[in-house]
Amino acid sequence: MTGLPNDPRFAATTLVVIDFEGLTPAGRPAEPIEVAALALRPVDGRLVETGRFEALMRPPADVPVTARDVQLKGITQQMLTSAAPAAEVMAQLDARLTAAPYRLVAHHASTEAAIIARLAEHCPVLAATPLLDTLRLAKAVVPGLGSYALDSLLGHYGIPKPAGRHRAMPDVEVTAQVLARLLDDGFVGGRWSTLLELDAAAGMRPRRPPAAPEAEQSALF
């Protein structure tokens, strides 16, 4: 990450790379069926994992898993039958976020922001956390790329597609690799050297105001 850790605000921030897999019923918002999060802290010029979380989520009974969903994601209806509902899973993830400040990181982060906003009652910390969009970072660092889809950026950087692509944790892991490359390239290219400049280039405000602090819990991240 070259010089970014020299910024005290960046050095004090945990980056939480997050991804949802979901179902898209006609005429309704996407229903999440899996979430993964990977917590990263800058240490000695590189991003170091400090925690991870992943879980399946049971969708509403009237939102079935289609054959196309199974083919693309490898998640079957049977796998979700015993999973907890999204509200419960998001509350579990939120309970681990007790060591602010954070930035959520996602590729095309508006998708993640929309799901979190819908479940904000159950994940108030997540819902109040600003986001960084790796798609926007990529547009700033690699102008003129034909596509900014995650697979295109993996190809650009020579990062192999993971086994289980389109499952939440494999996608989070490669997004974290893309993030590290973008942070380095943007710094070298003079695009940013502080968290404030990262926010200006690719930041998204949370969709609800910060919640009142709750009782401290044991932190994973």
Q: For the whole model, what pTM was predicted?
A: 0.91
- pLDDT value at residue 37: 98
Angstrom CA distances, 196 to 39, 130, 142, stand at 20, 12, 20
Give the model confidence (pLDDT) of 128-183 as tens digits: 999 999 999 999 999 999 999 999 999 999 999 998 888 999 999 999 999 999 99
- pLDDT value at residue 203: 97
DSSP state of 167: B
Give the model confidence (pLDDT) of 88-140 as tens digits: 999 999 999 999 999 999 999 999 999 999 999 999 999 999 999 999 999 99
Q: Is the pLDDT of residue 215 over 50?
A: no
For 3-153, strand residue ranges (E) read 14-23, 31-43, 46-56, 102-106, 131-133
CATH of 4-204, one of 3.40.50.720, 3.90.170.10, 3.40.50.620, 3.30.420.10: 3.30.420.10
185 touches 141 (CB < 8 A): yes
- pLDDT value at residue 209: 46
Closest CA to 17 of 52, 45, 43: 52
Report the relative pairing of strands 102-106 and 203-204 from DSSP bridges.
unpaired
**Kind and range of the H or E element at 124?**
helix 124-127
